Structure 1
Amino acid sequence: MTSTSEGDPVPEALSRLNRAKLYEQVVERIKAHVEESGLHAGDKLPSERDLAERLGVSRASIKQAIVVLEVQGLLESRHGGGTYLRNDHLDVEPVDVLVARRSRLPEVLEAREAMETKLAELAALRRSDADLAAIDTALAHMAAEIDEGGHGAEGDRRFHEAITAAANNSLLAEFMRSIDAQIAESRTESLRQPGRPSRSLGQHQKIADAIRNGDPKAAASAMRRHVQTVSKVRLLAWDPQTE
């Protein structure tokens, strides 16, 4: 335990830093502070000024670290109101992992828009009663996950899988399976955006309604809007070159 210039005790996690790559170290110190202090989702972090003083770094380094944590959906900065935890634990990904995912995500989203728009169109033309039942089951599963405080990732996966099956095109289905891991990444990235799970569920319902009504144009349009929403993630707005 160290102390500030005023003599107040400071947890070791917030003692001064003096090495290179400061903002990455700041991320680790913030994580340690959350664990040592027993903070939980909804709790407020110390101010940027306070963190900068305790760690002995510039506020720019603090801001960079906070942005990295926001990109991962772990913190939420409220204008004029400080920075708050979104999870009980800061399960931080290495910056190089974030950079790699950021570089491949645009192509994944382009592929998803091209293929899933067509799949929704075909599903509206070819869906069976069993297909509609699978879509409804997926929607219910996602809604239950969200009601329990989750992101709805498994229900989301089942929904898109059910639409692929309803399209009855084995080649498109094989293409989708070939990028399953990349689709899962884009799903996780999207659903951890604030407010996104419930918004995605609403968009899923519109896609399902169009498929049920046998309206291929409306189904394709609803799916395109949905994938475009999926593409609006904090990660793509982040410029790692400025960090």
Structure 2
Amino acid sequence: MATPEKPRPTGKPLGKVARPRLYEQLMKQILGYVESEQLGPGDHLPAERELAEQLGVSRATLAQALVALEVLGVIDVQHGTGAVLVYRPSVAAVLRKLREHQNRLPEIVEARSTLEVKLAALAAARRTDEDLARIEEALGVMAGEIAAGERGARGDELFHEAITAAAHSAVLAQLMTFIAEMILETRLESLGQPGRPEVSLESHRKITRAIRDRDAEAAAEAMQAHIELVSDVALLR
């Protein structure tokens, strides 16, 4: 007599375990190094080239992990001095903050697209000669930073502040102030991508040309394309 077949268990099928992304693995290894070396606030991490060699990865891949740690406030990266430890967190705490940040990013991008595209159009329609001079001055600051080997973060910030001022909309300016800290997160991530500062600067120049020509439609289109460009970051891939 055949043995009756056991009933198959019912319920939700098991899903595949997500494989950690490489930059997440690197973040864990960097934090492990910090712990093993007993580094504290103000201490320097090894130079980027040395760290990449020790980890066996390219400097571009390492940069993604360092940018993530910078955005989360664990390290501070300055041109010429390298990465400096701000505080020494647990790996679990950093990964939890990383997940929260990843979940928040699409909403930050959505807010930027909604506000800054309108601001660019208004800037083209309402800008004064003084406003245009301020926008072009910000371009010069960013270009100078990039030429010096930096990411151009300060010039980028000044550019978007100048666009907001040129729109002459107090309410939209207040909304931009409200999300300024969140925008800083996306700025650091975007400009930390290899080759991104130069591309972002050229994108700024295109927006500026439209504002100079008082072409509101072209300014809005250029800003939308810019937001899409800077939103292409490793943490969202």
In structure 2, stretches of 5+ residues that fail to align are: 1-24, 40-44, 70-80
TM-score for the superposition, normalised by structure 1 = 0.67
Measure how far apart 1:27 and its partner are: 3.2
Measure how far apart 1:25 and its partner are: 5.1
Contact conserved, 1:102 with 1:236, CA < 8 A, in 2? Answer: yes
Give the paired residue count: 189
Match of 1:40 among 29, 42, 47: 47
Corresponding letter in the other structure for 1:42: R
Measure how far apart 1:100 and its partner are: 1.7
Partner residue, 1:140: 140
Q: Does 1:223 align with 2:223?
A: yes
Q: In the TM superposition, what whole-angstrom CA distance separates every residue of 1:177-226 from its partner, at most 9, and x where no partner exists? A: 11111111111121111111111111001000110011111111110000
Superposition pairs of residues 49-88 of structure 1, within 5 angstroms:
70-73=64-67, 88=82
Partner residue, 2:123: 123
2:30 partner SS: helix
Assess, with a 3 A threshold, how the Cα gap between structure 1 residues 229 and 26 changes in structure 2: closer, same or farther. Answer: same
Measure how far apart 1:73 and its partner are: 3.6
Question: Which moved further from structure 2: 153-162 or 143-152?
Answer: 143-152
How many Å separate the matches in 1 of 2:68 and 2:82?
9
Assess, with a 3 A threshold, how the Cα gap between structure 1 residues 195 and 96 changes in structure 2: closer, same or farther. Answer: same
2:149 partner SS: coil
Partner residue, 1:176: 176
Partner residue, 2:98: 98
Q: Does 1:89 align with 2:83?
A: yes
Q: In the TM superposition, what whole-angstrom CA distance separates every residue of 1:7-53 from its partner, at most 9, and x where no partner exists? A: xxxxxxxxxxxxxxx987533345568x9xx85233442466xxxxx
How many Å separate the matches in 2 of 1:108 and 1:27?
27
Partner residue, 2:209: 209
2:48 partner SS: coil
How many Å separate the matches in 1 of 2:101 and 2:187?
12
Assess, with a 3 A threshold, how the Cα gap between structure 1 residues 108 and 23 changes in structure 2: closer, same or farther. Answer: closer
Assess, with a 3 A threshold, how the Cα gap between structure 1 residues 98 and 74 changes in structure 2: closer, same or farther. Answer: closer
Partner residue, 1:16: none
How many Å separate the matches in 2 of 1:143 and 1:124?
22
Partner residue, 1:28: 31
Assess, with a 3 A threshold, how the Cα gap between structure 1 residues 184 and 218 changes in structure 2: closer, same or farther. Answer: same
Corresponding letter in the other structure for 2:53: L
Alpha-carbon RMSD: 3.3
How many Å separate the matches in 2 of 1:24 and 1:165?
38
TM-score for the superposition, normalised by structure 2 = 0.69
Contact conserved, 2:123 with 2:167, CA < 8 A, in 1? Answer: yes
Assess, with a 3 A threshold, how the Cα gap between structure 1 residues 206 and 69 changes in structure 2: closer, same or farther. Answer: closer
Superposition pairs of residues 149-160 of structure 1, within 5 angstroms:
149-160=149-160
In structure 1, stretches of 5+ residues that fail to align are: 1-21, 49-61, 76-86, 238-243
Partner residue, 2:114: 114
Identical residues among aligned pairs (%): 42
Assess, with a 3 A threshold, how the Cα gap between structure 1 residues 211 and 88 changes in structure 2: closer, same or farther. Answer: same
Assess, with a 3 A threshold, how the Cα gap between structure 1 residues 123 and 98 changes in structure 2: closer, same or farther. Answer: same
Measure how far apart 1:97 and its partner are: 2.3
